[in-house]
Amino acid sequence: MLVVDPPYNLNKAYGNTDFKQMSADGYRAFTENWIVAVKRLMKNTATVYVCCDWKSSLIIGSVLQKYFNVQNRITWQREKGRGAARNWKNSMEDIWFATMSPKTFTFNIDDVKMRRKVIAPYKIDGKPKDWVESDSGNFRDTYPSNFWDDISIPYWSMPENTDHPAQKPEKLIAKLILASSNPGDVVFDPFLGSGTTAVAAKKLGRHYVGIECEVEYCALAQKRLEMADDDAEIQGYSDGVFWERNTLALQQKAKAKSRVSSSGQQSLRFDAPEQDAAL
């Protein structure tokens, strides 16, 4: 599979390279150029995800449609964004999901469920309906939608944070990799930056290949890959599910419980409901 996070059509400095905003036609040609090059490497069952801001998305979406089967567009609400005096603040990004084949592709829905706190704990005959009561709280494991509001951009106190000006969160890339590849598959990112795709792939037992033109960013990626040998944690993903924002304390509590459980002292079972009524 491919995870691609190309320079958006904005003036931006990436280390020693200044990416200069282009005309729409120029950016279309730039996009078509790398899409044609990477498509040659893809298997008939492969998937490609492409990240973009709303403006680049207008072009990237239409180029993807020309070469692939577009399956969906994910909206990531990344929260942080620069305020604008005469426009709405940009606080979302698109991630296009496209496949080589219209029907034959990997999609592991059970590997990307989202654990949500239950606000209205509905019971039937005294038993929870599609949610689970535990010592850590009441939760429901839900099917993920194409609107992602559980992921913040890496901030200074997170171990994954680097000086790269457009670094993606590992949690975001992990969702894509878990959904659309299997352990042992190859994940390729032709605009690797600080290495997020390769690091998430390594932590999740996939092979990885990346290309990055800035030597300094290659060094960041290399360092992060080495750090992954000692710490394979992906912030916001534990117990086989993705957690809502601001639930670190709950995640730690659940983790501590399952550690006790695996040492045989106490047992906490968290069975996801078979079907989610909130689909």
Residues of the shown chain interacting with ligand SAM in the complex, contacts defined by CB under 6 A: 5, 7, 14, 17, 19, 164, 166-168, 191, 193-194, 196, 212-214, 217
Q: Which is nearer to ligand SAM, 153 or 186 (CB)?
A: 153
Q: How far is the CB of 2 from ligand SAM (least distance, A)?
A: 12
Q: Which is nearer to ligand SAM, 208 or 217 (CB)?
A: 217
Q: How far is the CB of 191 from ligand SAM (least distance, A)?
A: 3
Q: Which is nearer to ligand SAM, 191 or 242 (CB)?
A: 191
Q: Which is nearer to ligand SAM, 133 or 233 (CB)?
A: 233
Q: Which is nearer to ligand SAM, 235 or 247 (CB)?
A: 235
Q: How far is the CB of 50 from ligand SAM (least distance, A)?
A: 11
Q: What is the DSSP string of the chain?
A: -EEE-PPPSS-EEETTEEEPP--HHHHHHHHHHHHHHHHTT--TT-EEEEEE-HHHHHHHHHHHHHHSEEEEEEEEE-------SSS----EEEEEEEESSSS-----GGGG-EEEE-SS--EETTEESS-EEETTEEEEEE---SEE-S-PPP-TTSTT--S-TTPPPHHHHHHHHHHH--TT-EEEESS-TTTHHHHHHHHTT-EEEE--S-HHHHHHHHHHHHHHHH---BTTEETTEEE-TT-HHHHHHHHHHHHHHHTTS-----PPPSS-TT-
Q: How far is the CB of 48 from ligand SAM (least distance, A)?
A: 14
Q: How far is the CB of 199 from ligand SAM (least distance, A)?
A: 9
